[in-house]
Amino acid sequence: MPAQPTRRGLLVATAGFGLAAPAFASQTPGWPNQSLRLVVPFTPGGSNDNFARPVAEALQVALGRPVVVENRPGAAGSIGAAFVAAAPPDGHTLLLASSSFATSSTIRRTSFDALDSFDAIQRLCTAPMVVVTKPNSPFRSMDQLVAHARAHPGALLYGMAGLGGVGHFAMEAFNLASRLQMEAIPYSGIAPAQADLVSGRIDFLMTTLASVRGLVEAGTVPVIAVSTAGRVPEMPDVPTIRETTGLDFEVTVWWGILAPRGVPAPVQHRLNAEIAKAVQAPSYLRFLEAEGARPAPLGLPEFRDALRTDVLRWRQVATEARITVN
């Protein structure tokens, strides 16, 4: 998984994208010649929707055409993704994708292939997952939790918000790495999982920081580990799972923009450059900070490689853990 970028690295990378933009802009005559659609494959008002709208607004200013955010929820994001995959590859239809796109597409029958049906345009940001335990939990570190799980097989319960989502796959990957099989309690979303964590019905959750930030800041639940390769600036005293357990485990959540396969290269480069600028805007940086995320733009080849690595990793986890959708 790609490492979290440094601030200096982000500035250098963004400068490179910005220098390339005028050249590619001159090579896209006649584009865009209509409004653009940025499809969010989830309901309005959620985190995915929130990540998309500021980018759409920035693109609208940069390109001089309306950019409409269109919500097409259903089937864990597959309905919206299928719509974009089938759209004309002219750069006027885009998809807001995320780590859950990479995970859910590995176990659902879809009309598209997560890799072959899309062009990877630009990564927006990355974020850690966190392990939070119930109030008054005896576990103050991940190694304590693992030791208890080894000594008492089947005793610990963890919440799983959404079958096929990144939280589901991250825990399956952890079970494989640790050779444990803790019992998952599935929920329709993060809110009921949080409620059961606070009430003590489940022992812990592995989820994004943004989804539990309110509980953490209120002191209701403790964070005992982060999933990323290194510690995160927001919580410098919280160790990584790898640090405390010695396990070969790391998960970084990402959000990005995809397009139907076959978009002309100059259009891809133009979009890549303009979106890189958008995620560096001060207002977007403040938004990302509130979401526990960091800007993480990449060049076209780098994002394509990162997407492939992520999808192939989760396909392997799905096979080894025998994850299926009933």
Least trusted range by pLDDT, from 193-197, 231-235, 270-274, 303-307: 231-235
* Residues found in the chain: 326
Q: What is the pTM of this model?
A: 0.87
| Range 269-281 average pLDDT | 96
What are the φ/ψ torsions at residue 262 (nearest 5 degrees)? 110, 10
Tell me the pairing of strands 252-260 and 118-133. Answer: antiparallel
What is the location of CATH 3.40.190.150 in the chain?
A: 7-127+253-321
CB neighbourhood size of 196 (10 A): 16
How much is the pLDDT for 210? Answer: 86
Cβ-in-10-Å burial (0-12, 13-18, 19+) of 212 comes to buried
The DSSP secondary-structure symbol of 240 reads B
CB distance 295 to 288 below 8 Å? yes
CA angle 194, 199, 203 (to 5 degrees): 70
CB distance 54 to 287 below 8 Å? yes
Q: Give pLDDT tens digits for 11-60.
A: 444 444 444 444 544 467 789 999 999 999 998 988 889 899 999 999 99
CA angle 75, 80, 84 (to 5 degrees): 145
How much is the pLDDT for 29? Answer: 76
Decide which of 2.30.110.10, 3.40.1190.20, 3.40.190.150, 3.40.50.300 is the CATH code for 7-127+253-321.
3.40.190.150
Q: What confidence category does residue 324 fall into, taking pLDDT thresholds of 50, 70 and 90?
A: confident
Q: Give pLDDT tens digits for 55-77.
A: 999 999 999 999 999 999 988 89
3-state secondary structure of 222: coil
What is the location of CATH 3.40.190.10 in the chain?
A: 128-245
Across all residues in the chain, what is the average pLDDT? 90
Taking 3-state DSSP, the helix, strand and coil percentages for the chain, each rounded to the nearest 5, stand at 45, 20, 35
CB distance 249 to 235 below 8 Å? no
Q: What confidence category does residue 177 fall into, taking pLDDT thresholds of 50, 70 and 90?
A: very high
Cis preceding linkage at 297, omega within 30: no
CATH superfamily of 128-245: Periplasmic binding protein-like II (3.40.190.10)
Q: Between these two residues, 57 and 291, which has the higher pLDDT value?
A: 57
Q: Going by C-beta distance under 8 Å and a sequence separation of 6 or more, which residues neighbour residue 238?
A: 130, 223, 224, 225, 226, 231, 232
Q: Give pLDDT tens digits for 94-149.
A: 999 999 999 999 988 899 999 999 999 999 999 999 999 999 999 999 999 999 99
**Whole-angstrom distance, CA of residue 191 vs CA of residue 211:** 9
How much is the pLDDT for 14? Answer: 44
Q: Give pLDDT tens digits for 181-231.
A: 899 999 988 899 999 999 999 999 999 988 899 999 999 999 999 999 999
